[in-house]
Homo-oligomer: A and B are copies of this chain.
C-alpha cells in the first residue's frame, strides 16, 4: 500500500525518468504491470542496479533477506531508504552489511490507512503528512537534502530525528495506540454470543475508531512490535499504571474528577 502510493505519486508528478519495482507476489506484479508504466523485474538485482534511489517498502522482517539479495548490486553513490515504522534494529542490520559508497538514510512517512495491498494505494497519501528521516552522524548532508526534497515533492513535511528518538516517540504516538486497539477489539469480540451482533451494531459509541486502527496489516505490526519491543514494553507499563488508576477510581466511585488532571 505504501509502495504503490509512492509509485502513484512519482508517476503523477513525473519524478523519475525510469522506475523499476520488484515484488515477490505474482498477483502484485500482475497488478503493477496492468496499472503502471514501470519495469516490473523478475530479479530483484535488476531493480536496483541503475537506481539513484532505492526504496524498501515491505515488512521489517523482510529487510535482511532483501539486503542480502541487493547488496552487491546497489548503484554506487545511490541512496537507500525505506518506509518502516521502527528504526533502531534495522539500522543495526544495515550497518552490519557494511555497504560501501551507499547512502543509507531511513524514511518513515507517517501516513497510511487500515487497508493493505497495492490496490489500496493513494497518490496523495503523503500530502501534508510528516515524514521522519534518520541517518547516522556521518550521514552525507547533500544526500539527506535530496531525500528531503523527494518527500517534500510528494507533499510531506520532513523532520530529521535520531534512530533512537524516532523509536521512542513513535512507541507513544503509534505503537502503543495499536497495541491498545488490538486488545480492545479482542475484548469486544471475544464475547457471549448473545451480544455479538449488538457489539458490532452499536460500535459508533467509540469502538469503531479502534476497529479501524486494529484492522491494519498484522504482519507489519508484528514486526514493529518485535523491533521496537523495549520502548513499547516501557510505555505499555506506564499505560497499565494509568489504567489501574482509573480502575481504582471507578471501584471507589471516587468523587474527585479522575479524568481531569
Question: Which A residues have a C-beta under 8 Å from some C-beta of B?
Answer: 85, 110-111, 129-130, 132, 159, 161, 165, 168-170, 172-184, 186-188, 190-191, 195, 198-199, 201-207, 209-210, 212-213, 218-219, 221-222, 225-226, 229, 232-233, 235-236, 238-240, 242-243, 246-247, 249-251, 253, 257-261
Residues on B with beta carbons closer than 8 Å to the beta carbon of A85 = 205
Question: In angstroms, how far is the closest chain B Cβ from the Cβ of A110?
Answer: 5
Question: In angstroms, how far is the closest chain B Cβ from the Cβ of A155?
Answer: 14
Please give 18 more A-B residue pairs, beta carbons under 8 A apart, in addition to A206-B213, A209-B209, A229-B250: A165-B195, A165-B198, A168-B195, A169-B198, A173-B198, A176-B207, A177-B206, A179-B243, A179-B250, A183-B243, A184-B239, A186-B242, A187-B235, A218-B260, A221-B259, A222-B258, A225-B246, A229-B253
Residues on B with beta carbons closer than 8 Å to the beta carbon of A253 = 226, 229
> In the assembly, what is the distance between CA of A245 and CA of B130, in Å?
32
Copy count, this protein chain:
2
Prevailing SS type, chain A contact patch:
helix
Identify A204's interface contact among B111, B180, B190, B251, CB under 8 A. Answer: B111
Q: Are B259 and A210 in contact (CB under 8 A)?
A: no
Residue of B nearest to A184 (CB): B180
Q: Are B130 and A183 in contact (CB under 8 A)?
A: no
Interface core residue of A159, A206, A229, A235 (most chain B CB under 10 Å): A206
Write 14 A-B pairs (CB below 8 A) sorted by A numbering: A130-B204, A172-B188, A175-B206, A176-B184, A176-B206, A177-B206, A180-B210, A182-B259, A218-B257, A222-B258, A233-B250, A233-B251, A236-B246, A236-B250
